[in-house]
Amino acid sequence: MSNTSILQKILYRIDNDDKVSSSNIIEKFKSELQQHDVDMYNAWKMMNLI
């Protein structure tokens, strides 16, 4: 699966999650990314130093 497809899938899931708000969207994205693509998550983590 391409990076674009993974990100689209994650964003779709977040968009359809009633529990996501402006105060927790980053944590939700981080959690979804970690579950779907650990390598991309680790690269994102290193870029953002989180």
Q: Answer for the pair 31, 1: CB distance below 8 angstroms, yes or no.
A: no
For tokens 């970690």, name the residue. 34
Q: Kindly report, residue by residue over 1-23, the tens digit of the pLDDT.
A: 788 999 999 999 999 999 999 99
Domain limits of the chain? 3-48
Which pLDDT belongs to residue 50?
55
Amino acid (1-letter code) at residue 1:
M
The mean pLDDT value for 23-38 works out to 95
pTM listed for this prediction: 0.78
Residue type, 44: W
